[in-house]
Structure 1
Amino acid sequence: MVTETSAGLGTGRASVGSMLEFAWTAGVFTATDAMSATSLTRSTAIDAVDILLDAGILVEHPNARAVGSYRSGRPARRFSLSPELGVVVGIDAGDTHLAITVADPLETTLVHRRTDLDSAHSPQERRTVILAELQRALDEADRTRDDVLSICAGVAAPVNRKGVSPPHPDGFWERTNPGLAEALREWAPIVEVKNDALLAAVAEGAQGAAIGCRDYVALLAGERFGGGVVVDGHLLHGAHGGVGEGVVFDHVVGVESAVGLGYALQDAVRDGVADGSIPATGAVGRMADAEPIDPRAVLALASEGDADAVLVSTRVGASVARIVGVLGSMYDPAKVIVCGGVAASIEPVLAAARAVLPEQLHLPAPDLIASSLGVEVVSLGAVASARRAARERSVPMLAEGRLRRRS
């Protein structure tokens, strides 16, 4: 579970802040429910509810008599968060894809749009496309900028706490994060730009293989390797947002590259044909001339026991074991979760990696598992982070502002 610090309401409104925090997960509740959860007195709880009702943060529902559950005595008033608070937005801006999700602050996805991005675009062109797709998503959800409580965008680059990526020797980070923090500033009161692997770790901790785990790495492994690292329940970030940056694998013997598993499998097929270990006439060998090679087809053959595909999986698995060995030695995780679209079919590679992983480190080897969250893992993490920002910052700010205007 990843820990964060709640901003809450201002000084003097502790009871209102406690009531608001309770309401996020309570569904429809009564004052008695709130008293039990918050330790507020009845009068204080009712005062806090009335303040939040007056600010439009809570809404009142028909009482127990009106919904047919009243038995005796005075029927209890029933409340919940207002469904009209606004929306949150999660953005997954990968190197070659863009996914935008508009959701309510609690649990419902309203719109999800996914499209391709041109990796040859300039930063300005990329920024223009992202903002245009964001507007289309809001239009499809029948929402405006005024409805947006928070935005979280995931990018394939290190990102510092201000949402800015450092310079890259080839300009890659500047292109994949084309000034999004500044570009989105007018779209929401809270804007966060984060590394995509970090958001994958958020998703795995919230609804994936790391629920309840305090030490894990979410290893994005599609186009390039990158790790979102959680230690002692805390996301690790670094001065420039570079914790888990994959360039380290360029310098690991037996890996020598940060390219992801899709490319690694293609290279292993072509290398095997070139060195004669994979016959060019076999089912795998015939793939060598394809551009690109479909890694899922190779993995499907490996799952069926095809000897050449198993050889490819074994060779790539040895590289994965070295990568996980480095992560295991640096961060001592209980789990390493391979994430991204490739995860659904990657088991033959992981099985090969597990067989040799204990040789790669002195510590106990982490569990090496495939994510079940699929290609949308970064989107899920972005939405979860946007919801957290709305809960801890945007809505308390909204409540505070409305209360000031009413006082």
Structure 2
Amino acid sequence: MSSVISAPEPQLLRRVSNSAVLDFMRASRAVTVTEIMKATGLARATAISVCEELVERGWIRELENQRAFGEYRKGRPARRFELNESAGFVLGVDVGIAKVTAVVSNLRGQTVGRSSQPFPGVRITAEDRIPGTQITAGERLAIIDQTAMTALQDAGALADMVLAVTIGIAAPVDRNGDVLATQHFWELFDLDIKTAFKDLRGWTVLLENDANLAALGERWHGEAAGVDDVVVILSSERFGSGVIDGGRLLHGSHGGAGELAFLKYVEGVGNTFGIALMARTWASETLAGKTRSSLRKHPREEISAEHVFAAAAEGDALALRILDRLADRMARVIGAVATIFNPELVVIGGAVAKSAGVLLGPIAERLGEFTATPPRIAVSPLGESIVAVGAIRSALDYVEKNSLDLNLRVPSAAE
């Protein structure tokens, strides 16, 4: 029995050619038709035709037909094209329990707008992990929307120029973008954000766990660039981790891969409270007694992790003891994570990462006590932007995968 293999349809071939040219343009600056032919294997006539189609659709633009100063050659100068990086925008949004941050990026991944806004009435403590004053889901959605629109205004972009939005939340999210709301804390993020913004703004919204986005951001622009086996631990207010194994982000069956609730069973840890929360909690508890410390110049209720790290740098004995406790705690956390996932690298991320570099040496010294496979340890250079950076990468991935199915907004003559 013989089988006949049909030739690809012309429409499919055209789509493949368009994708190849657009992918090359994203990775390049101004290029000539000859360079496009060399990169994609297309014939000259096809390359020119594809470029003209992509120009018409708005994805790329043709540059002014001129030679560089002092250059002389017979004939017309080569036609040059480049990505129209402002043809559309993506939004990366980090929705925490206490505040929301929105970042706008152009199609090259360059940040062009940003906004951040707190949720009112939120105070996080070790005694009461859930804020005592709650705001409604509608109020929370309104603040998220306001923050996103302010970021777009900062970028000089209109809402209908947004091609995709990725929102990171502090709860497990499965591959379909559904929230695993089996704990009260996670329920606070089950706002049906995708439907709300589709109805309100017409946006395509991708929902993802914040630590997973942190891992994507770190691998894109951080210490984990080029590393295929890495765990990024968000460690400011609470612990959460994103796991990349063999270059692939792990989700698990319900989005729970990387969740660290098991830490309450780890000796010397006992909960998921992060570096910033424990630093200020331990400082406040100790200062309730008569211990001498330069930290007393701050009101107890206003002491932050940054104050503790700064006092330790000045040799304050109390602050140094707290850092020692933090290093021991982090060694146990990283040891547990390393035993489960066996990464090459563990990155400490979040707003506290900038200060946490001083902990790397003490953590590394203790790590062998808690795992037979100690990884390299680093702190993220992305600071509190780590989740938003990953959200931008996620949204760009969506746009790049679906470019030929997206319609760009064409400005009117009045604009």
| Alignment-derived partner of residue 348 in structure 1 | 358
Correspondent of 1:173 among 186, 200, 218: 186
| Alignment-derived partner of residue 14 in structure 1 | 16
Alpha-carbon offset, residue 379 of structure 1: 1.3
Name the CA shift for 1:10/1:232 in 2 (closer, same or farther; >3 Å). Answer: farther
**Mapped partners of 1:136, 1:390: distance in 2:** 22
Whether contact under 8 Å (1:164, 1:181) holds in the other structure is no
- Taking the TM superposition and a 5 Å limit, the aligned residue runs for 1:213-224 are 213-224=227-238
Alpha-carbon offset, residue 230 of structure 1: 0.8
Q: Which structure exhibits the higher relative contact order, with contacts defined as CA atoms closer than 8 Å and separated by 6 or more residues?
A: 1
**Mapped partners of 1:132, 1:400: distance in 2:** 24
Correspondent of 1:369 among 361, 375, 378: 378
Q: What's the CA shift string for 1:154-207, capped at 9, x where partnerless?
A: 11111122322122332x223234211111224355321111111111111111
| Alignment-derived partner of residue 132 in structure 1 | 146
* AA of the residue aligned to 2:51: V
**Mapped partners of 1:46, 1:67: distance in 2:** 25
Correspondent of 2:404 among 382, 390, 396: 396
Unaligned runs of 5+ in 2: 1-9, 123-133, 411-415
Correspondent of 2:113 among 111, 114, 124: 111
| Alignment-derived partner of residue 6 in structure 2 | none
**Mapped partners of 1:252, 1:264: distance in 2:** 16
**Mapped partners of 1:101, 1:161: distance in 2:** 23
Whether contact under 8 Å (1:150, 1:188) holds in the other structure is no
Is residue 315 from structure 1 mapped to residue 328 from structure 2 by the alignment? Answer: no
Correspondent of 1:280 among 291, 297, 304: 291
- Taking the TM superposition and a 5 Å limit, the aligned residue runs for 1:1-400 are 11-12=12-13, 13-65=15-67, 69-118=71-120, 119=122, 120-170=134-184, 172-186=185-199, 187-188=201-202, 190-270=204-284, 272=286, 280-284=291-295, 286=296, 290-363=300-373, 365-393=374-402, 395-398=403-406
Name the CA shift for 1:30/1:345 in 2 (closer, same or farther; >3 Å). Answer: same
**Mapped partners of 1:315, 1:83: distance in 2:** 48
Whether contact under 8 Å (1:337, 1:369) holds in the other structure is yes
**Mapped partners of 1:10, 1:190: distance in 2:** 26
SS of the counterpart of 1:99?
A: strand
Deviates more, 1:181-190 or 1:350-359: 181-190
**Mapped partners of 1:167, 1:115: distance in 2:** 24
- RMSD after superposition: 2.5
* AA of the residue aligned to 1:44: T
**Mapped partners of 2:280, 2:176: distance in 1:** 37
SS of the counterpart of 2:117?
A: strand
**Mapped partners of 2:408, 2:380: distance in 1:** 40
Name the CA shift for 1:56/1:265 in 2 (closer, same or farther; >3 Å). Answer: closer
Whether contact under 8 Å (1:149, 1:188) holds in the other structure is no
**Mapped partners of 1:308, 1:143: distance in 2:** 49
Task: Using the aligned pairs only, state the percent identity.
Answer: 33
Name the CA shift for 1:299/1:37 in 2 (closer, same or farther; >3 Å). Answer: same
Name the CA shift for 1:334/1:70 in 2 (closer, same or farther; >3 Å). Answer: farther
Whether contact under 8 Å (1:126, 1:175) holds in the other structure is no
Whether contact under 8 Å (2:102, 2:116) holds in the other structure is yes
**Mapped partners of 1:140, 1:299: distance in 2:** 33
Deviates more, 1:236-245 or 1:288-297: 288-297
Whether contact under 8 Å (1:99, 1:113) holds in the other structure is yes
Alpha-carbon offset, residue 367 of structure 1: 1.4
**Mapped partners of 1:214, 1:36: distance in 2:** 30
Deviates more, 1:210-219 or 1:50-59: 50-59
**Mapped partners of 1:131, 1:145: distance in 2:** 11
SS of the counterpart of 2:61?
A: strand
SS of the counterpart of 2:81?
A: strand
* AA of the residue aligned to 2:293: G
Whether contact under 8 Å (2:339, 2:371) holds in the other structure is yes
Alpha-carbon offset, residue 145 of structure 1: 2.7
* AA of the residue aligned to 1:184: F
Whether contact under 8 Å (1:64, 1:70) holds in the other structure is no
Alpha-carbon offset, residue 83 of structure 1: 4.2
SS of the counterpart of 1:359?
A: coil
Name the CA shift for 1:334/1:121 in 2 (closer, same or farther; >3 Å). Answer: same
* AA of the residue aligned to 2:195: E
TM-score of the pair, normalised by structure 1: 0.88
* AA of the residue aligned to 1:283: S
* AA of the residue aligned to 2:338: G
* AA of the residue aligned to 2:94: D
Alpha-carbon offset, residue 22 of structure 1: 1.0
The count of aligned residue pairs is 387
